[in-house]
Structure formats: C-alpha cells, structure tokens
C-alpha cells in the first residue's frame, strides 16, 4: 500500500491528535515533525515532542515517563505506516 504524503503542518496535527488519544498522551503540548533520511526507519520523518512536564521531568514518575513515551511511539508506528512527510512544495 502506497503512503500518502502530507505537508509538515498536517502531519504534525495528525501526530498530536493521535498521541493525545493514547493513555499518557495528555502530557504532550506540542510536536514537531522533521525529515529523516534513515531508510531503515520505515518512514521519512521523526517526532520531537514537548511535554507539560518537560521542565520537571526529574519529578515525573517512571510510569508517567513510560506512558508518555508509549503514546508517542504508538502514534509514530501507526501514522508512520500510513504517511510520509512531503519534502517538496
């Protein structure tokens, strides 16, 4: 199945919505999608996320960190199989 290419802002919106659907995803305030030329990754993009607890990550429990990371990974795995980042106008 061919992947759909999305512009950066649309992919970021889809990623953030998908993360927030998952347990632990409510802590994510924003995401940034960047182009990644790693052919082994399975998609041409990666996620950088800003968490509500970013300034106090040392105070977050191990479970909080695990659930937040799991939400990000689940969104990447799901959407990475469906979408590529459009690299041209």
What is the DSSP annotation of 42-66? SSSEEEEEEETTGGGGGGS-HHHHH
**Which one, of 11, 14, 56, 55, lies nearest residue 34 by Cα?**
11
Domain boundaries, the chain: 4-85
Reported pTM? 0.86
Give the residue-averaged pLDDT of 19-45: 88
pLDDT band for 57, please (50, 70, 90 cuts): low
| Share of residues in the chain with pLDDT > 70 (%) | 87
């Amino acid at each position: 199945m061919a992947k759909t290419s999305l512009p950066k802002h649309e992919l970021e919106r889809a990623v953030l919505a998908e993360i927030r659907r998952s347990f632990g995803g409510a802590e994510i305030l924003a995401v940034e999608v960047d182009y990644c030329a790693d052919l082994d990754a399975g998609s041409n993009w990666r996620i950088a996320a800003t968490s509500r607890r970013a300034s106090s990550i040392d105070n977050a429990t191990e479970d909080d960190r695990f659930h937040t990371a799991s939400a990000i990974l689940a969104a990447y795995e799901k959407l990475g199989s469906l979408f590529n980042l459009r690299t041209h106008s």
